[in-house]
């Protein structure tokens, strides 16, 4: 499966290089290596190792994408009005994006961006393609105005329901689907429900956190409903849907799989690791002591701002700083940095069986 990393803070920027590149377990290095503390299997008909590998494939070599939020666009709009050249207003943070199909550690453009960019809101994603074309346009995150969306897992039997999914989308959301992945179609459903099927001007609006949660849940429910009606309960297969969306101020992430026993892909959160991942503070993500450098850093941990990281895997050596999000749970972060874990409403009838082992 894919891997992703999300960072959000109301006050504390991160350097992209610190969180995406430098640590031993950084996203850019999860192409080949994985670190999965406390990931337990609950289906005792297979081994823990088999279940872990089923949801967390070893190689993620099919592309990388990052979206970082910046106020640059709004800072340079007309005077004090915030009015852009097209007459619209784009106050506040908006996503900048970079996508590539090159191995991230060998991509000099990616490395340069990361070494020289800071942000308070970041999405990063490396892709393991399930069946669609390996091309930059299919890389996550997917951008709709101020909104970014990414996915790890698979929407099963996507091809049979793809046309029906598209018919559920608003015209504006459908027009913003540029690739062929199940993930981007899920993103378009999410934005359709978030904006109540309004035109693309609505992509620039911020919406309440509860509306973001409800829209993501409705996108999941719609997908399962189409699978049940078009494929049938006897033939449909379970989905693995680790989903994340942000508007640059708030965040919602799901860890979901509609199967009675098997686990979704791994998904962790941390409200502490950002300090370890910030070179302004004395700790090192790999636990290294660097003579003459570590001692010279005096910024105490208490001076690091509140933040939330949600990621497929921990990227620091301190396993105790990371918590595994439960199966069929979601995590939310509001504009003030407060976070909450809650259950994802889930009907028993949604559960499907594996017809191909460890899909």
Q: Which residues have CB under 8 Å from 198's CB, separation 6+? A: 170, 172
**With contact defined as beta carbons under 8 Å apart, do 256 and 344 qualify?**
yes
Q: How many CA atoms are closer than 13 Å to the CA of 144, on its beta-carbon side?
A: 35
Average pLDDT for 173-192? 97
Q: What is the pLDDT at residue 83?
A: 59
> Of 25, 4, 86, nearest to 321 (Cα)?
25
* Nearest 10 degrees: Cα torsion 246, 249, 250, 253: 30
Q: What is the pLDDT at residue 127?
A: 76
**With contact defined as beta carbons under 8 Å apart, do 90 and 66 qualify?**
no
> For 209-240, how does the pLDDT look when each residue is reduced to its tens digit (9 = 90+)?
999 999 999 999 999 999 999 999 889 999 99
Query: Alpha-carbon distance 104 to 352, whole Å?
Result: 36
> For 17-72, how does the pLDDT look when each residue is reduced to its tens digit (9 = 90+)?
999 999 988 988 876 666 677 664 434 444 555 554 544 444 546 789 999 999 98
Q: How far is CA 60 from CA 55, 238, 336, 355, in A?
A: 13, 22, 34, 24
Q: What is the pLDDT at residue 303?
A: 79
Query: Alpha-carbon distance 160 to 173, whole Å?
Result: 20
> Of 166, 170, 157, 180, nearest to 200 (Cα)?
170
Least confident of 92-106, 113-127, 180-194, 264-278: 92-106
Element (DSSP H or E) covering residue 150: strand 147-154
Q: What is the pLDDT at residue 309?
A: 98
**With contact defined as beta carbons under 8 Å apart, do 33 and 316 qualify?**
no
Tell whether the model's pLDDT for residue 359 goes beyond 50. Answer: no
Q: What is the pLDDT at residue 47?
A: 57
CA 265 to chain centre: 12
Structure token digits, residue 348: 């028993």
Tell whether the model's pLDDT for residue 103 goes beyond 90. Answer: no
Average pLDDT for 281-285? 84
Query: Alpha-carbon distance 354 to 358, whole Å?
Result: 7
> Of 268, 244, 239, 270, nearest to 256 (Cα)?
239
Tell whether the model's pLDDT for residue 320 goes beyond 60. Answer: yes
Q: 311 forms bridges with which residues in the sheet?
A: 5, 268
- Residue 102 pLDDT level (bands cut at 50, 70, 90): confident
| Edge-to-edge strand list for the sheet holding 64-70 | 94-100, 64-70, 121-126, 3-8, 308-311, 268-270, 323-324
Average pLDDT, the chain: 87
How many C-beta neighbours within 10 Å does residue 337 have? 16
Least confident of 37-51, 76-90, 172-186, 332-346: 37-51
Tell whether the model's pLDDT for residue 79 goes beyond 60. Answer: no
Highest mean pLDDT among 82-96, 109-123, 272-286, 297-311: 109-123
Q: What is the pLDDT at residue 152?
A: 94
* Residue of 300 and 193 predicted with greater confidence: 193
Query: Alpha-carbon distance 158 to 139, whole Å?
Result: 17
């Amino acid at each position: 499966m894919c891997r992703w990393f999300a960072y959000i803070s109301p006050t504390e920027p991160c350097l992209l290089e610190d969180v995406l590149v430098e640590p031993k377990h950084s996203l850019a290095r999860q192409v080949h290596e994985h670190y999965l503390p406390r990931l337990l299997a609950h289906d005792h008909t297979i081994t823990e190792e088999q279940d872990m590998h089923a949801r967390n494939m070893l190689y993620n070599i099919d592309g990388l994408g990052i979206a970082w939020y910046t106020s640059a666009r709004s800072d340079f709009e007309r005077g004090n009005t915030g009015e852009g050249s097209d007459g619209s207003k784009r106050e506040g943070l908006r996503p900048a994006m970079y996508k590539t199909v090159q191995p991230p550690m060998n991509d000099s453009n990616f490395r340069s961006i990361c070494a020289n960019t800071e942000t308070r809101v970041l999405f990063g994603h490396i892709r393991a393609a399930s069946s669609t074309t390996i091309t930059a346009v299919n890389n996550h995150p997917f951008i709709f105005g101020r909104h970014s969306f990414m996915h790890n897992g698979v929407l099963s039997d996507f091809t049979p329901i793809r046309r029906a999914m598209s018919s559920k989308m608003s015209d504006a959301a459908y027009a913003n689907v540029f690739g062929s992945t199940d993930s981007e179609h899920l993103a378009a459903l999410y934005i359709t429900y978030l904006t109540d099927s309004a035109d693309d001007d609505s992509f620039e609006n911020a919406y309440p956190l509860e509306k973001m949660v409800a829209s993501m849940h409705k996108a999941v429910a719609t997908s399962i409903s189409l699978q049940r009606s078009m494929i049938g309960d006897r033939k449909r297969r379970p989905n693995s849907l680790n989903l994340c969306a942000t508007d640059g101020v708030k965040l919602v992430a799901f860890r979901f799989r509609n199967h009675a026993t098997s686990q979704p892909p791994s998904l962790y959160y941390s409200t502490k690791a950002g300090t370890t991942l910030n070179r302004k503070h004395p700790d090192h993500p790999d636990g290294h002591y660097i003579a003459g450098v570590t001692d010279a850093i005096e910024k105490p941990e208490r001076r690091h701002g509140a933040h939330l990281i949600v990621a497929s895997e921990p990227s620091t050596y301190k396993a105790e700083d990371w918590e595994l999000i439960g199966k069929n749970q979601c995590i939310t972060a509001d504009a003030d940095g407060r976070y909450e874990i809650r259950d994802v409403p889930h009907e028993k009838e949604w559960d499907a069986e594996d017809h191909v082992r460890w899909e």
